Amino acid sequence: MPSAASQTTTEHHTLGHALASHAERLSATTALVYGRSDGAQDRRTYAELYAQAAAAGAVLHELPPRTHDRPFVLIALPDGVDYVASFFGCLLADAVAVTFHPPLMSTMRAGRAWDHRLEQILRDCEPSAVVTAPELRSRVRAVADTAALAPLVITPDEIPWQADGEAGPVRTRPRHLALLQYTSGSTSSPKGAMVSNANLAHNIAHIRRNLGTGPGQSAAGWLPLFHDMGLIGMVCHPLTAGMSLHMSTPTGFLRNPLGWLRTLSDTGSSFTIAPDFGYATAVRKVAQERREGLDLSGLRHALNGAEPVRRRTVTAFAEAYEPYGFNPHAMMPVYGLAEATLVVTCLDRQAPPALGEVERQTPGAANGTVQGSRPGTTRTELVGCGTSIAADIEVAVVDPKTSRRRRPGEVGEIWISGPSVTGGYWGHEKVTRETFEATVDEPEFRGRRFLRTGDLGVWHEGQLCIAGRIKDVIIHRGTNHHPQDLEATAEGCHELVARAVAFATRDEWDQDEQVVLACELLAYGPGVDCAAVLSAVRGAVLEEHGIAPAAVAVVRSGAVPRTTSGKLRRAEAAKRWSAGEFKPVALWHRGETSEGGQR
């Protein structure tokens, strides 16, 4: 048998067929290594991973469907090999995987939120089964009872498998639904993007072609598996490409960011993917003396996505780790979303991103043009995210009021059309029509349907740059401001500010939008001058954006609400602020200043 390094993968109709092929051709090659919280590791070769997935698939294939022509299977497992095997088991059985997770924290509030979201998802898709951890079995059943449902609740240890066992057929079909990817958002109305096997195969094939990934290469990461970037980008892509994948967990990364870098170094990994805050954390939380011995020369593709990519993060990571072999051109900003499977635009291999600024004008959320720097104007820094990842994916920057494309250099809403765009939201026909059936009012696009992303973008130097979110735009005294701009200003004005969130609240008297900023610090304690931080943030935001904030707060580390992929939840922050739930360590409020609370 030729060595793994000399083999090449062929294009497969589905991910299930790809795993079956690797189990035969790369049988003894390490497929997956997962670090556990106790320091041990779980390992699977391709033959072992396929055997475990096929055993799960044999059980899941026998399930009766409820609301679909094939069974839905909700996966509520901790990140690890069992999660990966259960997902591929769904694919092999031609069942529909519904990705979820265990409670993320042990607090009562987090537990209630988890129960509520689980109940809403159960009601939304009515799965035939839930695969969960033994310690969650009774809890899942209780929530299902509340939803008046009775899915089979099964744990991975109840599905025996043998590495040399005889595997059943691959039942996966390209046009069949493969995955319900529930998007981050309100727990009261979860929406599951309907991702087909063809969507997955198309998107991953073009990621592979763009990056040149394949057998003989390694990858390393830590993203959560119920999120599209973790499941599809960090797991399905490397495994479909025949790579050896080394994974940690989000908790493990936050506790020890150096562990991610050590794994990249020790395995010679060529690929990783993380949100912008992950790279920023690797700079801030890993002291220079702890970086000794790292060798990142093998890292050819460090994808940066899931939230706005910041120029200072790109620059800071390159400056911090170039002495340890990191090639600055390996940093690859990407743009994507679950409704388009994963990646929409990406840089060519090791091409530098286009950097620029967009000058904000008023009124209208989609107004703005890329300009040279002029004193006294409000500007947003731009980082290029490349071009369409595939020739058959059309990316248009559109004026949402006229449905016509904006010219290069002008800001508009990003609309997408092509084979990676998913089939809409399960059971939400009205929202699907509004979101997935937009039309560009130009002859060349007649008859073509587009996905409205809600993201603002601009073409600059031939690359798509992300300028913000339409819904996040703050209208302050008739002028549009993007919270990312205010947050970047706050984070850059004082050395102690680690992360900031900007949002608007309504004044109860005149109903005008009032701007609030909440900041997490790198350090807390008696020696920290919080008053200086509050003053620096107020002054910087006023000077750079012409906004006098209504309030600026220093909050506890971790108090700023984020999704599991690191995206700021600004609407949730505004809600918590209005409810008095932040309990600031220090607070400046227009007309008063207070300090209190303990970290």
Residue 319 tokens, joined: 């400056």
Long-range contacts of 1-9 (CB under 8 A, 24+ apart): 1/25, 3/216, 4/29, 4/215, 4/216, 4/242, 5/215, 5/216, 6/216, 7/215, 7/216, 7/242, 8/214, 8/215, 9/208, 9/214, 9/215, 9/240, 9/241, 9/242
Give, to the nearest 10 degrees, the angle between helix 46-61 and helix 81-93: 60
Strands (E), 48-162: 72-76, 96-99, 129-132, 152-154
Angle, CA 219 vertex, CA 218 and CA 220 arms, to 5°: 130
Query: What SS3 class is residue 552?
Result: strand
Position 380 scores a pLDDT of 65
Residue entry with tokens 């607070």: 587
pTM of the model as a whole = 0.83
Give CB contacts under 8 A, 24+ apart, made by 532-535.
532/494, 533/494, 533/496, 533/497, 533/586, 534/586, 534/587, 534/588, 534/593, 535/588
> Which neighbouring-strand residues pair with 149?
none
Nearest to 168 by CA among 307, 45, 23, 306: 23
Element (H, E) at 346: strand 343-346
**CA–CA distance, 317 with 291 (Å, rounded to integer):** 12
Q: What is the pLDDT of residue 311?
A: 86
Residue 186: the pLDDT is: 42
Torsion of Cα atoms, 75 then 565 then 327 then 311, to 10°: 160
Helix or strand holding residue 91 (H, E)? helix 81-93
Q: How many residues does the chain have?
A: 599
Whole-number Å distance between alpha carbons of 373 and 561: 33
CA–CA distances in Å: residue 556 to residues 498, 515, 525: 11, 20, 11
How confident is the model over 305-318, as pLDDT tens digits? 866 788 888 999 99
- Please say whether the beta carbons of 474 and 513 come within 8 A: yes
Would you call 197 helix, strand, or coil by DSSP?
helix
CB atoms within 10 A of CB 520: 20
Number of CB atoms found within 10 A of residue 417's CB? 21
Q: Sign of torsion, CA 567 570 571 576?
A: positive
C-alpha distances in Å from residue 273, one per residue of 148, 181, 234, 374, 586: 39, 19, 6, 35, 35
Query: CA-to-CA distance for 224 and 77, rounded, in angstroms?
Result: 11
158, with CB counted inside 10 A (0-12, 13-18, 19+), is exposed
The total of other beta-carbon atoms located within 10 Å of residue 326's CB is 23
pLDDT of res. 493: 92
Interhelix angle 15-25/197-211, rounded to 10 degrees, is 60
Instruction: Read off the tokens for 471.
Output: 């819904």
Phi, psi of 168 (to 5 degrees): -80, -175
Instruction: Give the pLDDT confidence score for residue 371 in this predicted structure.
Output: 54
With a CB cutoff of 8 Å and minimum separation 6, the contacts of 197 are 13, 14, 15, 16, 91, 172, 173, 174, 175, 176, 177, 178
| pLDDT string in tens for the chain (599-residue length) | 233 333 334 467 899 999 999 999 999 999 999 998 888 899 999 999 999 999 999 999 999 988 888 899 999 999 999 999 999 999 999 999 999 999 876 777 678 878 988 999 999 999 999 999 999 999 999 999 999 999 999 999 999 998 877 777 888 889 999 999 997 544 347 899 999 999 999 999 999 999 999 999 999 999 999 989 999 999 999 999 999 999 999 989 989 999 999 999 999 999 999 988 899 899 989 999 999 999 999 999 999 986 678 888 899 999 999 999 999 999 999 999 999 999 999 987 767 777 766 665 433 344 556 554 444 455 667 889 999 999 999 999 999 999 999 999 899 999 999 999 999 999 999 999 999 999 999 999 998 999 999 998 999 889 999 887 787 777 666 566 778 889 988 998 999 999 899 998 875 544 457 899 999 998 899 989 999 999 999 998 988 778 889 999 999 988 898 876 667 888 889 989 988 888 899 999 886 655 544 33
> Quick one: pLDDT at residue 365?
42
What distance in Å separates the CA atoms of residue 125 and residue 100, rounded to the nearest whole number?
13
User: Would you call 495 exposed, middle or buried from its count of C-beta atoms within 10 A (0-12, 13-18, 19+)?
Assistant: exposed
Residue with tokens 């595939």: 390
Cα–Cα dist 289/598, whole Å: 31
pLDDT at 481: 76
The DSSP secondary-structure symbol of 229 reads I
| Residue 361, burial from CB neighbour count under 10 angstroms (0-12, 13-18, 19+) | middle
Give the HSE-up count for residue 162: Cα atoms under 13 Å, Cβ half-sphere.
Answer: 3
Calculate the alpha carbon distances from 543 to 377, 378, 468 in Å. Answer: 10, 10, 21
Let me know the angle formed at the C-alpha of 258 by 254 and 262, rounded to the nearest 5 degrees. 130
